[in-house]
Amino acid sequence: MNRPSPSAITIARARQMLESARALIFDVDGTLAETEEVHRRAFNHAFVQMRLDWRWGRTVYRQLLKTAGGKERIRAFDRSCRSQQSLSDQDIIELHRIKTSRYAELIASGDCPLRPGVEALLVSARRRGQRLAIATTTSLENIDALLSTALGNDWAARFDAIVAGDEVARKKPAPDVYLEVLKRLAIPASNCLAIEDSHNGSVAASLAGIPVVITRSVYFDDEDFSEALAVKDLAELSL
């Protein structure tokens, strides 16, 4: 008798969790779309505009992604490359503003589509009567840039709750964004499913008591997700 492979078991289990959850809570960056490469380009654009001799290559950025939050990432990098922080909080806010503006321009070009299986899952979930939510570290501005390009200007109508990083006290891996989504949905954590791509996101959802399915993204393709169900992408779970 042919035993199912571990990946077949994982896919079957993840598919069952996706179908039976009362609400699906999506991370954004790396999960809905491979946006981190666009973020990285936008950061580098902002460094040039602010006349900083910084440039984040892919290898450095992969490490910097361990810090959730663009402003927090800039601050962490600044502290790592100088004995004391040289950028003021105002500098960081201005740098991040320039970066966010450039990110929106790059996303509007249409070069960053939703990942395989994402839109089909949003449609099938709605058809099953499931609630949909977003729990992300990025800003509402960035979510709007991505989803208005990918889903149209009425994209927000698809979601029952949308919580962005700056709306809560602590960013991932703290559970704050997920706890706020649960509050707005008024659904128990165990009846929901979080869909994530990073260790920070998996920890944040788990701390909120929410089961997690990982969809591997480019910048976290080598991450150890032994504590969660990990699939290559949501197209494997097309229902």
Distance CA 146, CA 25 (A): 17
Cβ pair 145, 104 in contact under 8 A: yes
DSSP code of residue 131 = E
Structure tokens at 156: 């927000």
Distance CA 56, CA 229 (A): 31
CA 110 to chain centre: 18
Cβ pair 144, 151 in contact under 8 A: no
Q: Does 197 bind Mg ion (CB under 5 A)?
A: yes
Q: Does 33 bind ligand XBP (CB under 6 A)?
A: no
Look at residue 119 and give its three-state secondary structure: helix
Binds ligand XBP by CB under 6 A, chosen from 198, 202, 206, 215: 198
117 versus 173: smaller Cβ distance to ligand XBP: 173
Q: Does 78 bind ligand XBP (CB under 6 A)?
A: no
Binds ligand XBP by CB under 6 A, chosen from 138, 149, 202, 215: 138
Binds ligand XBP by CB under 6 A, chosen from 44, 130, 136, 215: 136
In the complex, minimum distance from the CB of residue 197 to ligand XBP, in angstroms, rounded to a whole number: 6
93 CB neighbour count, 10 Å cutoff: 12
Considering only the stretches 28-36, 46-54, 73-81, 184-192, report the one whose residues sit in contact with Mg ion under the rule CB under 5 A: 28-36
Summarize as ranges the residues that interact with ligand XBP (CB under 6 A): 27-30, 36, 39, 68-70, 136-139, 142, 165, 172, 198, 201
| Catalytic residue annotation | 27, 29
